[in-house]
A = this chain, B = another copy of it.
Amino acid sequence: MRSGGEERGSRADQADQRRAELLEAARRVVLERGLAGTRVADIARATNVSGGLIHYHFATKDDLITAMLRSTGETEVRRLRELAAGPGTAVERLDRVLRFSIPESRSDQSWTLWLDASAVGVREAHVRTILLELEGAWIATLAEVIAGGVAGGEFACDDPRGAAERIDGMLDGLVVRYTLHAGGMSRARLLHHARVAAAREIGLDPAVFTA
């Protein structure tokens, strides 16, 4: 075992690599089977390691799941900030953020992770904290992009923070609906709603996004 596999550095790095590997496997398994349906044995199998190894690197299943949610959230926030800070007009930046906030396609079920986490977060404070940071970053980024557009004279909006909260809330709600109900809404309509709502908030015509 582990002869033709990926390279492994010094022993000092090995544990970190393994931890990252377990985190990634946990993410895949939870996406596939749901949080409630995920066993630590499943994650072990997906990584081709023994069940005992999971508890060598993570004291409890909870630790593993929490670390996985935190690292996934951090990755998403990093990417969001890159897109928001990227080149182009404020309209282009805002549209990039909107498009990044919704699933790429019908088969992109990555949002179910946050649905599961939200249900758990009601009862568990450390999960709630992760969700709060994730959503806080989203709202803050949206608000910055909108405020930037206002400062540059592109947008008209007297409450960028409030607008960001409303847009973020609508995205969350609609994405859940899109994710849950296959026939309920097309991705095109989802994006249309996001653009219409955003356009209303910044005092522009929705057509600016598609021009």
What residues make up the interface of A, taking CB atoms closer than 8 Å to B? 33-37, 109, 112, 115-116, 118-123, 128, 131-132, 135, 162, 165-166, 168-174, 176-177, 179-181, 184-185, 192-193, 196-197, 200-201
Residues of B within 8 A of A170 (CB): 166, 169-170, 173, 197
A168-B173 in contact (CB<8A) = yes
Not counting A34-B122, A36-B36, A36-B119, a sample of 11 additional A-B residue pairs whose C-beta atoms are within 8 angstroms of each other reads A36-B120, A37-B123, A128-B181, A166-B197, A169-B169, A169-B177, A172-B172, A172-B176, A173-B176, A200-B200, A200-B201
Q: Report the minimum CB–CB distance from A185 to chain B (whole Å).
A: 7
Residues of B within 8 A of A116 (CB): 119, 122
B180-A128 in contact (CB<8A) = yes
Majority-rule SS of A interface residues: helix
Taking a contact as CB atoms closer than 8 A, the residue among B131, B180, B185, B197 that contacts A122 in the complex is: B180
B169-A174 in contact (CB<8A) = yes
Residues of B within 8 A of A162 (CB): 192-193, 196
A122-B179 in contact (CB<8A) = yes
Residues of B within 8 A of A118 (CB): 115, 119, 176, 180
Residues of B within 8 A of A122 (CB): 34, 109, 112, 115-116, 179-180
Assuming A171-B173, A173-B173, is B35 touching A119 (CB within 8 A)?
yes
Residues of B within 8 A of A173 (CB): 168-174, 176
Closest to A31 in B: B122
Q: Report the minimum CB–CB distance from A96 to chain B (whole Å).
A: 20
Complex Cα–Cα for A33 and B139 (A): 30
B128-A166 in contact (CB<8A) = no
Complex Cα–Cα for A21 and B35 (A): 30
Residues of B within 8 A of A35 (CB): 119
